[in-house]
Chains A and B, each alone.
Chain A
Amino acid sequence: MTVLVLLDHADGQISPASRSAVTAAVQLGPVHALVAGAGPALDAAVQAAARIAGIEAVLRAEAAVHAAPLAEPLAALLASLAGEYDHLLAGATATAKNVMPRLAALLDVQPISEIVAVVDAETFVRPIYAGNALATVRSSDAKRVITVRAANFDPAADVATAAAIRDVATPDVAPLSRFVSAELSRSERPELASARVVVSGGRGMQNGENFRLLDPIADQLGAAIGASRAAVDAGYVPNDYQVGQTGKIVAPDLYVAVGISGAIQHLAGMKDSKIIVAINKDAEAPIFQVADYGLVADLFSALPELERELKTG
């Protein structure tokens, strides 16, 4: 039976994590996508959704209550559409993590969070204990409400032919919450969760000022900049830089850990990277146990040297 995927969007673009959810959904059946919003950005997002490979129909929900992705109206909208679908999926973005469990409660279903593999229509693999164990679970619910960990599924690409688009109505719900404001970090760099290369700094960076040493290297590699929880807790960089169990889970082609010791909770967020490089002056740091290439060196001399070496490519 058909699968419904809730797509996250911003500035008319579909989020890469939502594209990964489409890839997971295709393994379960024909895919319909839901795009909810208000204003001109919604139409751009709906058009973008219609061109994603694997999506057979796009449901467009335009309503003022969806101008910001609030949990109460989004969960009510999904619940009103759920009758036709056996599976309701979303990429594990902040919006989906907020909305999907509420939806599951409305449907009297136990949600399945952050799956990393689809075994069959009712069986999924998900990490528990911060990725220190993998649980294979089978759901006996009539419908399955699922979030998908983006790092484990490639984002669905675009195709030339657009899927059909139809409008859906949002049920009337009492307005319980109201969007007030957003403070989003603006950056020219790729998004941390979907970047091909990530350069992260840890407590070894010593202060926020020194994080700028990572900028020229990230520039040359086209990388996003991340950080360990220790660096975030020390106030060197904002929390949205955080890679780890309590931050973002990343799996880039190349992950460069600079001055990061490799606490369990950090490794949980980056150990699925294809190639890991560690630069640390402590040869005993646990990060070296997972690094493909380890360099025991003082980062303050290694980083300028790395910048020069990358330039002479």
Chain B
Amino acid sequence: MTKKYTKDHEWIECNNDIGTVGITNSAQEQLGDVVFFELPEINKNVKKGEQVGVVESVKAASELYTPVSGSIVEINNELKNNPSLVNSDPENSAWYMKIKLDDLNELNELMNLEQYKDMIK
């Protein structure tokens, strides 16, 4: 499944109806050194665009918004001990949650890589 992107600088990659979610490389570059993640609540049902957590860098705090509606099934506890992982590997091992999608059609409303690259130009 291909990655999709949001205007809030998050990415989601789906395997069947489970989406893995993180922040984009461009987002981590803007934030700089990340020092703290307030991770989402597991088992919580959330609506697309709802705030689910916070990422804090030395410079600023930034909210995490879920790209899709669904139920949060897993969070990446590695980020609690090693938040700077998001600076070194933002679009891979530094995912912050996995979510079971309510409606796969919501993915169609998100950007593909090219569209996202256009947006951040």
> Are A and B associated in one complex?
no
Which A residues are closer than 8 A to B by beta carbons? none
